[in-house]
Amino acid sequence: MKREYIISIYSENHIGLLTRITIVFTRRKINIDSLTVSESAIPGVFKFTIVIHETEAQTIKVVGQLEKQIDVLKAFYHTNDEMIYQEIALYKVSTDDIYDSDTIEKIVRKAGARILEITREYTVIEKTGHKEETQALFEELNQFKVMQFIRSGRVALTRDPIERLSEFLRERDAFLDSLD
């Protein structure tokens, strides 16, 4: 049965790695729903957060293929229940619509969103939450003809109190030290 999985890939920052990672998904005909890359808490290590909708068996195979990439230190997969995650969305609406009625202000407050910038022509609204929440706000605001809309990729942390990457790196370093 297909379900949503979050894949975390830890690597050093090397040119071309993103291309090699996406090729792994393309070869298996797996669509990437969301992709975010940033530095991790470990200096020199970057984290790719990838969301897919796939079977667990196929996800395990993909993680195995990802770990075979030269620059990948370690890859993990998790279900949504095992992660704490958010996305951010920005909405641009006409400032005239805000002045004409207090409806947009009420929608923004009810959604727990905030106004980032106001100009004479447009107002930018920000909402952080799960995809369903940011999409629901888009649908409410779109009655006023949203001028622009963008949603980020997912950012996620494990609920597990043990940082498995740090544990893996300690074990790897101890093994390498034993070879000396």
- By CB atoms closer than 10 A (0-12, 13-18, 19+), residue 145 is exposed
Name the more confident of 162 and 147. Answer: 147
Q: Which residue type, as a one-letter code, is found at position 58?
A: Q
* Nearest in space to 8 (alpha carbons), one of 165, 170, 171, 173: 165
For 11, 68, 144, 161, the CA distances from 71, given in Å and listed in that order, are 6, 9, 47, 26
Q: How high is the mean pLDDT of the chain? A: 91
Q: Do domains 3-84+156-169 and 86-153 have the same CATH topology?
A: yes
In sequence order, the 6+-apart residues with CB closer than 8 A to the CB of 26 are none
Q: What is the reported pLDDT for 165?
A: 64
Q: Is-contact 18 66, C-beta < 8 A? A: no
Q: What is the reported pLDDT for 40?
A: 87
Question: Looking at the predicted structure, is the pLDDT value of residue 57 above 80?
Answer: yes
Portion of the chain with pLDDT greater than 70, in percent: 90
The domains of the chain are located at: 3-84+156-169, 86-153
Q: Is-contact 91 125, C-beta < 8 A? A: yes
The mean pLDDT of 22-39, rounded to a whole number, is 95
CATH class, range 3-84+156-169: alpha beta
Q: What is the reported pLDDT for 101?
A: 86
Question: For residue 3, what pLDDT band results from cuts at 50, 70 and 90?
Answer: very high
Please give the distance of CA 92 from its chain centroid, rounded to a whole number: 22
Q: What tens digit of pLDDT does each residue of 84-134 get?
A: 999 999 999 999 998 888 899 999 999 999 999 999 999 999 999 999 999
Q: What tens digit of pLDDT does each residue of 156-175 get?
A: 998 876 666 666 666 666 66
Which tokens is 48 given? 């790719």
- Between CA 175 and CA 95 the distance in angstroms is 61
Question: For residue 18, what pLDDT band results from cuts at 50, 70 and 90?
Answer: very high
Give the architecture-level CATH label for domain 86-153.
2-Layer Sandwich (3.30)
Question: Looking at the predicted structure, is the pLDDT value of residue 177 above 80?
Answer: no
Q: What is the reported pLDDT for 70?
A: 86
DSSP assignment of 55-84 equals -HHHHHHHHHHHHTSTTEEEEEEEEGGGEE
Contacts by residues 61-64 (CB-CB < 8 Å, ≥ 24 positions apart): 61/28, 62/7, 62/24, 62/25, 62/28, 62/30, 63/7
Q: What is the reported pLDDT for 169?
A: 66
Q: What is the reported pLDDT for 168?
A: 67
The mean pLDDT of 31-37, rounded to a whole number, is 96
